[in-house]
Structure 1
Amino acid sequence: MTPQEFDQLVEECMGVIPPRFRRRLQNLVFLVEQEPATPGLLGLYEGRPLAERTSVPSFSMPDRITLYQGPHEREARNPADLRRLVEETIWHEVAHYFGLDEREVVRAERVRRNRLRRLRNL
């Protein structure tokens, strides 16, 4: 997949963020890089979580969520699996933006997956 095609996939997968949360994304940029500096990462949130910010606005550089194309492509079994992985990575990193630590994110992902399974079975 070309970098442009992967960028487009990431853009399409942003819909995984529910509108009520999407409206709260402020001073945040999404980036795509080919490979992470630390092996094994699919994505990385860098910044100050929303829950830790003060109500007093101040100038600061945007928080960043980086998605890594290479690891996604190597882990995916097919195009549908690649889309699922990208959606999960976006969801995971946005959860960090909202202040969830790794343990809380994993727990929330389990709940989300179970909810999605139930919806598919309706």
Structure 2
Amino acid sequence: MQDWLGRTAPDEETIEQMARAALAELPPQFAPAAQEILLRVLDFPPEELLDEMGIENPFELTGLYEGIPLTEKSVMDVADRPDTIWLFRRPILDEWAERGDVTLGQLVAHVTIHELAHHFGWSDEEIARIDRWWE
């Protein structure tokens, strides 16, 4: 039996490194747009965000794209903040532990790419048609 004493869960920096590794593996046609997005990792989504989205359980949100999708951007837009992909460490770790069928790196990559797809203007329904991850 493996001894888990003294081991800790991956921290925010480690999750960010996993996400950056996933972005580095993107096909060349997606890489330039992905490089323009900020990547941030927090333990949990902020309470205000959960309230705004009508989410009661903070473990339900593993990631979020915040910005204007490329399909809706205009040269007339004045950005008050950069497009950002938010990853939420504790919900990601919780989902990873519950699933038990993927590596943590695979899950972080999936959440990151899912949020990046929103940057490209894809809806959750469009992403689900292409990405059969949850089956």
TM-score in terms of structure 2 length: 0.70
Q: How does 1:29-108 map to 2 (within 5 A)?
A: 29-37=38-46, 38=50, 39=58, 40-54=60-74, 56=75, 59-60=78-79, 61-77=81-97, 81-108=103-130
How many residues align structurally? 109
Structure 2 counterpart of 1:43, one-letter code: G
1:34-78 deviations in whole A, cap 9, x for unaligned? 112432011001111000112x26542211110011011112146
| Superposition misfits of 4+ residues, deviation over 6 angstroms | none
Asked whether the equivalents of residues 15 and 108 of structure 2 are also in contact (C-alpha less than 8 Å), the reply is: no
Give the Cα separation in 1 of the matches to 2:104 and 2:89.
10
In the alignment, structure 2 segments of 5+ residues that lack a partner are 1-9, 51-57
Give the Cα separation in 2 of the matches to 1:4 and 1:30.
11
The structure with the greater share of residues assigned to helix is 1
Asked whether the equivalents of residues 16 and 91 of structure 1 are also in contact (C-alpha less than 8 Å), the reply is: no
Give the Cα separation in 2 of the matches to 1:95 and 1:72.
18
Give the Cα separation in 2 of the matches to 1:26 and 1:9.
15
* Identical residues among aligned pairs (%): 33
| Aligned twin of 1:109 | 131
In the alignment, structure 1 segments of 5+ residues that lack a partner are 114-122
- TM-align CA RMSD: 2.1
CA shift for structure 1 position 29: 0.8
Which secondary structure state, in structure 2, belongs to the residue aligned with residue 23 of structure 1?
Answer: helix
| Aligned twin of 1:5 | 14
Question: Structure 1 residues 47 and 34 mapped into 2: Cα distance closer, same or farther (>3 Å)?
Answer: same
